[in-house]
Structures are given as C-alpha cells and as structure tokens.
Amino acid sequence: MDVILVPGLWLTASSWDAVVPTLVAAGHRPHPLTLPGSPNARIDDWVDAVVRQIDAVDSLVVLVGHSGGGNVVWGAADRRPDRVARVVFVDTMPPPPGAMISEFPVEDGTVPFPGWDFFDAPDVADLDTATRERTLSDTVPVPGQVPTDRLSLTDERRYGIPVTILSGQLDAESLPAVLAEWGPWAEEFGRIRDTEVVHLGSGHWPQFSQPAAFAETLRNAVR
C-alpha cells in the first residue's frame, strides 16, 4: 500500500522518520511529505501537494495526517475519494467544510513555532527535555494564512472512505461526548460510514514521545 504521510504545523517529512522503517518492513511504500513553505502558500496549496502525490502512484493510497495535517488529508480525500482506501487522523478529527486549523500569531507573513511551553500540559507531558530539544531544531515556520484558511469540501463520497482516529487521550467511549461540543465537527464525523478510534495513551506528538509503539499502531491501521 502507498501511504502518504502528512505532518502537522511546523513539521516536515522528517517528523515521520521513526515510522517509515516499520511501514517499509510491513511491505508498504511510505511517502512522507514536506508541505509548501512559501509565505504566500495557502491551505489549497497544501491540499494540492497531497493530491499530486496521490496522482503520482498507480494504486489506492492511505492518507495519514497528524494534527493540522488532518485538514490537509481530508481535503485531499475530498478531491480524490475514489483513490483513497483509508484516512488515518493522528490526534485530530475529520474537519467539516469551512473549518480552519487554528489561529496563531503571525510574524512577517509566517507563523513561527511557538515553543513547547505554548501548548496545554496534557499535549506535551510525555515529551522529555531531550526529545523537545531534538525535535525543536527540525521545526519550520508555517505560511501565515494556512492555519486560518477555510477548508473547501464538496464531494460527499468522502463519507464512504474508512477513517481511523489515532487519539492520544480519547477512546471510542469518550470521543462522542467531546465531539458533541464541537458542533459541525460532530456532524461531519457522524456522516462517515466506517470509523474506528484507537486510544494511544499519549500526548499530541506520539511519533516523538512513543515512536516504536506508535509506528506499530500506525502499521496496524494501514490496510
């Protein structure tokens, strides 16, 4: 299976380094992406980059999106629903039409990485000092308009694509209650016909905090 790996904000293809060998050993063909970094890039440019990778292979693909990358892979699935075998969301959810990733301070046209202390304690509690320092050097600024760009979704065939949620803190029992407070996000998830939720027991960056275990979990999700 061709597996397209899309990073979250501030991350590049290198954020999947711990995952790639496990996928290769399982016989898959991973394609970790670095998304366009021009200050003028928009969310559509990021979605286009994933669509180009889908079009570059001859088989069905599995899309994997971490955090804000979840918006990107769901946008790509909407454009190529007949080419996507499954979408895996890593500590994020399928966004509804018009959703944005989030809002962050913009400096000189880009959103710089705000530092690990910016995030809520449960999201970063399992990142030790050495991991924070090592991964910090690999972060890159995000084009300023990408996090707040609204996502266009128009093809309802996306609801027929199987979806797996790899959630750091939620499981199949607790997720519906949380989603119920998210309005359109709950509606979008409710319309997907085949969903599963896997509890990771991690913070927001399991590829950094529990690389071996996360790689195995992702391998099991790719099918």
Question: What is the tally of structural domains in the chain?
Answer: 1
CATH number for 50:
3.40.50.1820
Q: Is the pTM of this model over 0.95?
A: yes
- DSSP per residue, 1-13: -EEEEE--TT--G
List Cβ<8 Å contacts ≥24 apart for 209-218: 209/126, 209/127, 209/131, 210/126, 211/18, 211/19, 212/18, 214/18, 214/19, 214/166, 215/18, 215/19, 215/21, 215/22, 215/23, 216/22, 217/166, 218/19, 218/22, 218/23, 218/64, 218/88, 218/90, 218/166
pLDDT in tens, 36-83: 999 999 999 999 999 999 999 999 999 999 999 999 999 999 999 999
Ranges of residues in the chain with a pLDDT under 50 are none
Residue range(s) defining the domain that contains residue 175: 2-221
